[in-house]
Amino acid sequence: MKVAVIPARGGSKRIPRKNIKDFCGKPIIAWSIEAAKTSKLFEHIIVSTDDVEIAEVAQNWGAEVPFMRPAELSNDFVGTGAVTKHAIEWVVEHYGEIDYVCTIYATAPFIKPNDLVAGFERMVKFNKSIAFAVTSFPFPIQRAIRIDESGNVSMFQPEHLMTRSQDLEPAYHDAGQFYWANFDAALHEIPAFSDASVALILPRYQVQDIDTPEDWERAELMFSAWRQSL
């Protein structure tokens, strides 16, 4: 059995009610739920939340909310790994054995059903325990600079001051969209940044962290342009 888990607690501070705030015509969590449904990969799509309103919105868009997340897993310091572990333990107890779980962020409107499928297939193909989406940095990280308290500027890697950009190794970062794992990896919270993982590379125009109001505005502009191009 494959299960999707969408963590969506109610205590967002920088963007109030972030997980159900309207994003280009829908509650933002609806985009994640619909991508999971359209992929046809999952026997259950479960939203893990501590918030009654989020639970209602999630159910209206076709997800299951078979339990309310306990308070000890609903603070600012609890990671998604612990939330996913709690969810799959509940599923095993009430629904049966799980083979794979996909943790999907509630604020990932750029997520595509085909990428969920590709991530799963890549994990199986390379015989890995975890698969997740990444994208490339738009500027060589070897050329990054630091600015100290006095305003002085220096390079993190000065040895690359004169290295041509095309000769520098590309670098990637987590796209913050989805994380496939087999049951054992999810249960034991195996780190994604490890030899247990394989990455699915996404184009940069399909990735935007949404942590601040400025991020939200940028994401809506990008999303509108992206949808028009499909």
Residue indicated by tokens 């940028």: 218
User: With bands split at pLDDT 50, 70 and 90, how would you rate the model's confidence at 43?
Assistant: very high
Q: Check whether 152 has a pLDDT greater than 90.
A: yes
Name the E strands within 100-222. 100-104, 130-136, 145-147, 153-155, 172-182, 197-201
Q: Report the C-alpha gap between 93 and 139 in whole angstroms.
A: 47
pLDDT tens for residues 169-194?
999 999 999 999 999 999 999 999 99
| Residue 6, Ramachandran bin (φ over 0: left; ψ between -120 and 50: alpha; else beta) | beta
pLDDT at 13: 78
Domain ranges of the chain: 2-229
Q: Which helix (H) or strand (E) holds 28?
A: helix 28-39
- Mean pLDDT, to the nearest integer, of 149-166? 95
pTM of the full predicted structure?
Answer: 0.94
For residues 42 and 117, what is the distance between their CA atoms, to the nearest angstrom? Answer: 11
Per-residue pLDDT, averaged over 56-63, amounts to 98
Q: Is the pLDDT of residue 77 over 90?
A: no
| pLDDT for the residue 11 | 79
pLDDT tens digit string along 97-119? 999 999 999 999 999 999 999 99
Nearest Cα neighbor of 32 from 57, 2, 68 is 57
Q: How many C-beta atoms surround the C-beta of residue 201 within 10 A?
A: 12
Classified by CATH at the fold level, domain 2-229 comes out as Spore Coat Polysaccharide Biosynthesis Protein SpsA; Chain A (3.90.550)
